Amino acid sequence: MSMQPKGSGEIPAETVWVARAAFPKGSLAIRVRDELGVLFTDEQFAGLFGVRGKPAWSPGRLALVLVLQFVEGLTDRQAAEAVRARIDWKYALALELADPGFDFSVLSEFRDRLVSADGGRPVLDGILAAAREKGLLSRGGKARTDSTHVLSAARELNWLELVGESLRMALNAVAHAEPDWLSAHVLPEWFTHYATRIEDSRFPKAQAKRAEVGRRTGRDGMRLLEMIWTDDAPLPLRTLPEVELLRQLWVQQFHLVEGKVERRDPKDRPPGAKRLVTPYDPEARGSVKRDTFWDGFKVHLTETCEPERLHLITNVTTTVATVPDDRMAAVVHAGLARRDLLPAEHWVDTGYANGGAMAAARRDHRVALHGPLKSVTVPHARGEAAFGQDAFTIDWDNQHVTCPNGVTSTQWHQRRSEDGLPTIRVRFSPADCRACPQLRQCVNSPKAQRREINLKPRDEYEALHQARKIQGTDQWKDRYKIRAGVEGTISQAVQACGLRRSRYRGLAKTSLQHQLTGAAINLIRINAWLTDKPHAHTRTSPLAALRPAA
């Protein structure tokens, strides 16, 4: 399929006349077209199409259709019908009234092409560029970021369903690729256990019998893998995605104990970042945040938050569920820098705030990252020394530390933490520390003979020290209230655009969904701004309104 640019984008006169008559007060689609003009051109998506083949429907128009689809929460069929039948959509797309539109399957094909275009970021970029040109957006100022969990499009499976469905899918893939080979090797009972979806079966209620079902599935899967890796098995079977997933899952869930296949102990299984949770979406991961457990992904939304200004989403980043927030500040800043939309102040919650992120934001992007730091552990609350790091004097230039009694450290070494982050290990001489009457109050081990201190690099240490000093003031606490508004943005994305559950499988397509969600929310907010609809206030229940002042 090839792409051929379509005209100048001017709206046909008849479409204008009918749309004005049918919508005298305008609509979102009409208003956005009038104020922002042509949001997407065919040339922006030229790299997604070949130079030969059947001409494609205008990709610039398809991009706008996808955004409007998310604005109104429509299915592909409903969106295609809106293009064919709705006057305001024809106006926004600059179509003739008699234009029949396209088959709904075109939207799915276009999304597949967009996945290869940096996860659909050009769509969000197009909205932001148009808003910037109209003076609705600028760099600098204030921004805020928060994350939320996203459920996988595949339903959650229990353990027996996970291993059973993975084996069933592998058997079906092998049967499709090499039916004759499998017919010669298949066990008769496999037809009973795996010919239909595992969820259609009834698992026994007794725990011992359920465990035996799991061991039986483990033995069957191990037998299939051994058959595939024999010399007489067709080599292409080893490269089937379903077989590779089965192999990975069996390594994670089973092992041989005295020649028998047994389920691994939970402590012997891989960490959540690598652990498969469903065969239907191999990239989904299981995670937990406080009382929330989910299988899927995580999305980070960044928006402008200047008072009395239009608030627009300027960056959307999607990760697997297990990526912690404390690693995402640099990623968000890189995305904002690419769009030239870095803020002067960036407000986040405790999950993002740490010394490394604050120092990197200031050093690399000249952004002041603000967020409440995790509280310092109270001495002896969990066995820590009574003399914390604040009691010691650090001489960064000469690379030594002085204790409260005036003793100077003897060792200063650059190291790496367990997470691979740079750290500084400082040690005092055992001869100096053993003579100190306060040794037991200074070390956290009853047998330690000297004090050791782990320091962050200087820029991180000083950023933390300065931040803790500022965050203790009432002025900073009052300024921090601005961050809470991003939770309303997440709520809007969940309720208006279905952000909570992925529509598609895989990280790339889920990321595309989130980029389209950000673009859709921006159009909704631009429309509200143009119609002078004020920002919504935080809702307070009648009971909460009666709460006495502190």
Q: In the numeric block, which tokens belong to residue 544?
A: 């909460």
Question: What Å distances lie between residue 306 and 303, 318, 337, 482, CA to CA?
Answer: 10, 25, 18, 9
Q: How far apart are CA 513 and CA 503, in angstroms?
A: 7
**Which parts of the chain register pLDDT below 50?**
7, 377-384
The answer to whether 360 touches 332, Cβ cutoff 8 Å, is no
Residue 168 is predicted with a pLDDT of 95
Largest CA distance in the chain: 95
Residue appearing with tokens 């990760």:
319
163 and 213 Cβ atoms separated by less than 8 Å? no
C-alpha–C-alpha distance, residues 446 and 93, integer Å: 75
Q: Three-class SS string for 381-438?
A: CCCCCCCCHHHCEEECCCCEEECCCCCECCEEEEEECCCCCEEEEEECCHHHHHCCCC
User: So what's the pLDDT on residue 137?
Assistant: 93
Q: How far is 276 from 261, CA to CA, in rounded Å?
A: 19
pLDDT, position 54: 61
Pairing of strands 422-427, 452-455: antiparallel
- In residues, how long is the chain? 550
- Tell me the β-bridge partners of 400: 395
pLDDT the model gives residue 129: 94
How far is it, in rounded angstroms, from Cα 364 to Cα 539? 38
In DSSP terms, 145 is beta-bridged to 302
Q: How far apart are CA 388 and CA 455, in angstroms?
A: 12
pLDDT at site 378? 42
Cβ–Cβ < 8 Å for 245, 276: yes
Among the listed residues 66, 64, 41, 49, the one whose alpha carbon sits nearest the alpha carbon of residue 117: 49
β-bridge mates for residue 425, sequence order: 413, 454
pLDDT at res. 377: 47
CB 424 within 8 A of CB 416: no
Cα(468)–Cα(473) distance, integer angstroms: 9
**Residue that has been written with the tokens 């740490």 in this structure:** 354
pLDDT at position 186 is 92
Q: Is the pTM of this model over 0.75?
A: yes
| 10 DSSP 8-state letter | P
Question: At 155, which amino acid appears?
Answer: R
Give pLDDT, residue 381: 41
Contact 9, 58 (CB under 8 A): no
How does pLDDT run across 67-111, given as a tens digit for each residue? 999 999 999 999 999 999 999 999 999 999 999 999 999 999 999
**For tokens 């409007």, what's the residue?**
68
Cα 348 → chain centroid:
16
200-252 per-position pLDDT tens digit = 878 888 999 999 999 999 999 999 999 999 999 999 999 999 999 999 999 99
Q: Rounded distance, CA 516 to CA 267, Å?
A: 40
